């Protein structure tokens, strides 16, 4: 038994895979950006507390 894949059908499969990879990459980038911002804020908080003399 052979599967018949039409060109249009295989193209949409490729597009869906590419779209999924793109979405995953964008999500990973956004998470990394949020993580960097949190680290920067934590560093700033520590510095501010030291400047105020609370630590």
Position 41 in a domain: yes
- Sorting pLDDT into bands at 50, 70 and 90, what band is 4? low
Do the domain assignments include residue 34?
yes
Instruction: Determine contact, residues 49/55, Cβ cutoff 8 Å.
Output: yes
Structure-token match 């793109």, residue found: 22
Distance of CA 22 to the CA centre of its chain: 9
In a domain, 44, yes or no: yes
pTM: 0.55
For residue 45, being part of any structural domain is answered with yes
Tens digit of each residue's pLDDT (9 = 90 or more) over 8-38: 677 788 899 999 999 999 999 999 999 999 9
Number of domains in the chain: 1
Domain interval for residue 50: 28-55
Query: What does the pLDDT read at residue 7?
Result: 62
- Is there a domain that residue 15 lies in? no
């Amino acid at each position: 038994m052979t599967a018949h894949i039409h060109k249009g059908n295989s193209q949409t499969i490729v597009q869906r895979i590419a779209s999924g990879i793109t979405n995953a990459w964008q999500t990973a980038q956004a998470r990394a950006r949020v993580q960097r911002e949190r680290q920067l804020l934590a560093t700033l908080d520590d510095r501010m507390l030291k400047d105020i003399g609370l630590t």
